A and B are shown apart, each in its own frame.
Chain A
């Protein structure tokens, strides 16, 4: 149980376009979802925390107008990279948590974004 999927698994786009990444909890309802970014040979860095039905909370240095997050249901959160640039190329990973509090996070398989 506790499976999280991401779609697409990889995407190549032209500079200036917008890309939407979906994160779904397949067999549980997620009150909270997290979005991370991972650059090559670097660790995961938390971008934002998304709670169903409310606005996402962004980490310092993450542009909320560039990385739009929508958590419309208890099983789906989306991350839209607007006006993507080559420096946005990265591995984006989402995670989901079942309950509030100190439960473990379940991670998706990640989405690799390459902006040309």
Chain B
């Protein structure tokens, strides 16, 4: 059974800082690993999707990596901005299944 853990639960940084959010998963037979952003009281916005054949994906200031052997994924945010403040969720599929298993998220606050 897939379990997804995110560390830290909360992170507060000054504007402009580069930061890394961590995600670990237990089932290495993962096919997709996704990072989402959730603003307070809102739904989810997909940020990056990494398939098992890929090691990383980039979109603007965001870079996500996937290491299946170690069961880890990281989301790197460069030059953080106050608008990046949100909860970031990591989700992996349960190997062989279409279902997504979510971590509890990392609440990021970027201070001006």
Contacts and interface: CB of A to CB of B under 8 A. Distances in A.
The answer on A and B forming one complex is yes
Contacts, number: 53
Interface string B78-107: 000000000001010100001111111100
Q: Is the interface of B mostly helix, strand, loop or mixed?
A: strand
Interface residues of A, number: 24
Contacts of B99: 34, 46, 49
A64 interface: no
Contacts of A41: 104
Given A49-B99, A102-B51, A102-B98, A44 B42 contact: no
A109 B32 contact: no
B42 A109 contact: yes
Residue from B34, B93, B105 whose CB has the most chain A CB atoms within 10 Å: B105
A46 B100 contact: yes
Nearest to B36: A107
B12 interface: no
Contacts of A107: 36, 43-46
Interface in A9-56: 32, 34, 41-46, 49
A1 B111 CA distance: 32
A103 B51 CA distance: 10
Contacts of B98: 32, 49, 97, 101-102
A112 B41 contact: yes
